[in-house]
Amino acid sequence: MKTDFVLVDFENVQPKSGTFLHGVPYKIKVFVGAKQAKVPLEVVRTLQAFGPSVEYIQIDGHGKNALDFHIAYYIGRLAAQNPGARFHLISNDTGFDPLIKHLTAQGISCQRSKSLGATASLQPSDSELDLERVDAVIANLAKRKAAKPRTLKTLRSTINALFANQLSERDLDLLVERLTDRGAIDISDGKVHYHLSP
């Protein structure tokens, strides 16, 4: 499975929300400047939910672009260690764009966004993510036993809540379709019937 890394230029952007990333296998690295002694509580609370998938990296040195060079180093190192990895750089700094262009030319997937919430592409729609989401939904439904949603409308709401209410209608359509294709559910007259392993 491909690994997705989110690298946050914290000197440049302080993310206020990352809830839409819940349920997807991101590894988040927050790069903090040498003079940044504190991280706002709001940011810590947002990122704390990702547990060990989040790492804070405070650089030692000072100087123009010092933090940017650290980010560039980590992208190179992580790309070598994780072939096929995808990188999402969160920064307003357009100085990264030539590096991103070069990485893309080398076959390394990398893009820059101004904020965690500014790009839909941080929600990959590839088959790997679809499969992970379907597995998560099935596991959640199996735990509910007799309390499973009985109507399609309630099922869609339940699935959306599992992913912090960040799924689009298209995402929900695809997930319901995948659940049906896998034989986990069937739907007739708006009613949901389950075929989950005990």
Number of domains in the chain: 2
Q: Are residues 13 and 99 in the same domain?
A: yes
Other C-beta atoms within 10 Å of 133: how many? Answer: 21
pLDDT digits (tens, 9 = 90+) for 124-178: 444 555 677 888 899 899 999 889 999 999 999 999 898 888 888 888 888 888 8
| Whether residue 100 is found in the same domain as residue 170 | no
Q: What is the pLDDT of residues 67-118, one digit of tens each?
A: 999 999 999 999 999 888 889 898 988 899 999 999 988 888 888 887 765 5
Q: Is 85 helix (H, G, I), strand (E, B) or coil?
A: coil
Q: What is the extent of the structural domain holding 189?
A: 127-194
Residue 24: DSSP 8-state: S
- Which of 122, 139, 158 is the last residue in one of the domains? 122
Q: Is 160 left (phi over 0), alpha (psi -120 to 50) or beta?
A: alpha
Question: Do residue 178 and residue 131 come from a single domain?
Answer: yes
- Kindly state whether residues 85 and 30 are assigned to the same domain: yes
CA dist 25 → 62, 72, 107, 136 (Å): 33, 22, 21, 12
Edge-first strand listing for the sheet containing 26-32: 54-58, 26-32, 4-9, 86-90, 109-113
